Chains A and B, each alone.
Chain A
């Protein structure tokens, strides 16, 4: 197992490098002159030229890429001009908030989605199945940002159950309970779409598995139906559900952008949108690379979980 994890980690290196290449290539497409963008259109040519030199923008793109990569390897992601602080500090400050939000949403969508899918498949064409199928359809069709706004209207403004925005109150204690109150609505709004996707897939994976011969064997042994569904069928269905959970992790991680905007959540997503509007390229690059790297790492965890689940996978 240790060797398998190591192997997967090694195989992630080219993917991570590829991600840096893609991010850099996209940013290199920027029309016009970044220095002008920074200094504004009234800058003197001398100042623009000086800034270009300071930023290393007078060098060829390939060379610039390797300098950027080498600096990142040493923990230097450059400096955000709009915030005037190191990119890495800013991203790391905000990354925790995003992880709390996306992590909670991920747990919600995995647990609720799989459970809904299993119940739906076990009661195919029954009332529960129909209700879940409809809820799923609604869930995957509603824009998460609209859902978030409606939740604020209902649960924060009307009912006053939850605070409307932010991660922490301006005054008061920072306890887990306070965090949970702030987290409930954004995490749920973020999880809804992913839950729908997971539930759909879980349902069809379960239907596929329930037709297999080994399910008939379990029934022939006299295993109660609950055990047939949750122990025999779900275990086998998880083999095809897990990869989708991996994809949904990426979805909640990046979809957090919308939710962070709606709920004023102090995460990476909001930072990225601000950075894009201010054309703070280094900050965008750093943020995107770190979030993408986090996603790649999470998918290694998924792969390892998959190999633990399915003994037929060669480790």
Chain B
């Protein structure tokens, strides 16, 4: 979407633009409008109230026409504010580009100076400059421009450093272009959006600051008046004739507010991060908008998913991340969910406790039953109570998933105390024993470590300890070993396996690695494009995969000592889940695909202990139900 269109869509920014446009047009027209001379005094006619005959906004303490003075003052204030912004932008950009482009000693020296200037409270610096140059509007303009140069210089230097190291700049250098041409031709065009953002967010300040200096009597000198000095002169009569103060003050407010609205709009339009709408915060629980009937609980699974559907709604698009998944896990059992990135396995796992980021996530159908209780429809309070206490999570990257600013011990203590009313001391003792349970050496001292002070493997042990804190019934492990190296991975897996046997935990284990599945899981479900394509006991499924996707996925795993065997990457990419093909989602990448595969829904059929969603399986399965 173009920048202008984005700006126009932002209604507040548009309002700012209209108001600002109006003010600017009026200011430009002031000399030709039939207004009385703003400087002609008429002391017999002082402090006339607004809306009087011949003086719409009344007169000031010298009997001068307020409307005329307001218009001329606005003209002056705008001119000075914009001039200051332009000067600061040009000089600041020049300094910043030179520092960023040349780098090294030049950069060092310039930035030292800039830092020094920024160590000043900047109104103070402006006062010092005006003190030196003497009061006067031009001097106030210079002062306000000067104190804003460091701000521009620092911002633009940062961007320039990034650009100066880009390939196209190197290419220009190799092509023999000189520095001046590179700066003007390659660097400057890329810096201009930043300059525009910085200007649009500071021009309001500059108008305020020059008005401020004039208000103090250090800016425009009588009889010439900008809005600030009008306000300054009116202050003496504030109580007797407030209108002389309110008129110029309100005008400053209107101008600066319009500029700020417009500036925000410009920034939003030019800042790509905001354009994608990435800056929304996830709510406490995933949004639920279930259509259709809620499935009843069946069987004796401690946790069971029934036809679960989770979507991401991004603007007009709907991504069907989880398109109807049914799974179950029994106490003491380990169920693996395997698939490529983007297959929806993590979203499935996070949907269980309503942890899918929302917006954009929405659970649109199905049910999650924990001991027969539907969690999807459960109120937030109930969900929160079960989180961590009955169903706990272990996440992938423990450096990102542990709070960086709290000690490990405090995070464990918190996990315990949100569910149990016990003293800090008791909770700490429990935390200590948890660290022992996950085989962390020197657990006493580790309680006082911060996450960044631990190794990756130790951090993940802490993550597991935290999941175990309230003796949950179910643990959902979302790729807990992916970020770890192989030996640590083996240790973590064997730890999980031991814990499962000791405590009778049900584990749902998300991974993309068949090696891990073989070590730990009793059963495994293979996911592709948001759906389960095959499910069965691990051994049977590994030995005789039935879905072509499963067999290709197994063929991707290199075998140690297997000799020189070609690794079979699966050609093509998983489909985008906002535009799924009819029929089998894997068909476009499958070499066994027939026309029938691309037509209509293919059901997940049960064959004894196994389930399969395929018309032409690799292995014929017995006992079709």
Contacts and interface: CB of A to CB of B under 8 A. Distances in A.
A219 to B, nearest CB: 6
Interface string A224-262: 110110001001100100000000001101110110011
A83 to B, nearest CB: 16
B116 A141 contact: no
A147 to B, nearest CB: 8
Contacts of B231: 143, 145-146, 149
B218 A273 contact: yes
A296 B117 CA distance: 12
Interface in A274-294: 275-277, 279, 281, 284, 288, 291-292
Interface stretch (A39-47, A181-189, A201-209): A201-209
Contacts of B387: 219-222
A222 B389 contact: yes
A204 to B, nearest CB: 7
B578 interface: no
A57 B611 CA distance: 96
A153 B238 contact: yes
Contacts of A206: 281
Interface in A85-111: none
Contacts of B401: 213-214, 216-217
A3 interface: no
B253 interface: yes
B257 A138 contact: yes
A19 B119 contact: yes
A218 B403 contact: yes
Interface in B218-258: 218, 228, 231, 235, 238-239, 242, 245-246, 249, 252-253, 256-257
B121 A291 contact: yes
Interface string B72-98: 000000000000000000000000000
Interface stretch (B21-29, B413-421, B590-598): B413-421
Contacts of A261: 215-216
Contacts of B389: 222
Interface stretch (A25-33, A48-56, A71-79): A25-33
Contacts of B471: none
Interface stretch (B125-133, B153-161, B296-304): B125-133
A62 interface: no
Give the residue among B116, B133, B218, B246 with the most A Cβ atoms within 10 A: B116
A207 B215 contact: no
B124 interface: yes
Contact of A124 (B211, B280, B419): B280
B395 A312 contact: no
A180 interface: no
Given A207-B281, A236-B405, A277 B135 contact: yes
A43 B414 CA distance: 77
Interface in B537-564: none
A220 B392 contact: yes
B127 A272 contact: yes
Contacts of B466: 217, 221
Contacts of A215: 282
B418 A227 contact: yes
A135 interface: no
A288 B124 contact: yes
A140 B357 CA distance: 32
A5 to B, nearest CB: 18
A275 to B, nearest CB: 7
Interface of A is mostly: helix
B218 A251 contact: no
A312 B249 contact: no
Contact of B238 (A152, A220, A254): A152
A239 B405 contact: yes
Contacts of A140: 204, 260
A157 interface: yes
Nearest to B273: A208
Contact of A221 (B278, B284, B388, B450): B388
A41 to B, nearest CB: 14
B452 A288 contact: no
Contacts of B527: none
A150 interface: yes
Contacts of A305: none
A215 B395 CA distance: 12
Interface of B: 115-117, 119-125, 127-135, 204, 208, 211-212, 215-218, 228, 231, 235, 238-239, 242, 245-246, 249, 252-253, 256-257, 260-261, 278-282, 284-285, 353, 355, 357, 380, 384-389, 392-393, 395, 397, 400-406, 414-415, 418-419, 450, 452, 466, 469-470
7 contacts: A23-B128, A140-B260, A142-B253, A213-B395, A223-B414, A272-B131, A292-B120
Interface of A: 15, 18-19, 22-23, 26-27, 29-31, 121-122, 124, 137-138, 140-143, 145-146, 149-150, 152-153, 157, 204, 206-208, 210-225, 227-228, 232, 235-236, 239, 250-251, 253-255, 257-258, 261-262, 272-273, 275-277, 279, 281, 284, 288, 291-292, 295-296, 299, 309-312
Given A214-B404, A288-B124, A299-B119, 19 more contacts: A22-B125, A141-B256, A145-B212, A149-B238, A149-B245, A150-B249, A211-B281, A213-B397, A216-B395, A217-B466, A219-B285, A221-B415, A222-B386, A232-B403, A272-B127, A273-B217, A275-B131, A276-B130, A311-B405
Q: List the 8 closest pairs (A to B, CB-CB), nearest first.
A: A250-B121, A146-B249, A254-B121, A222-B388, A254-B123, A210-B281, A141-B257, A222-B387
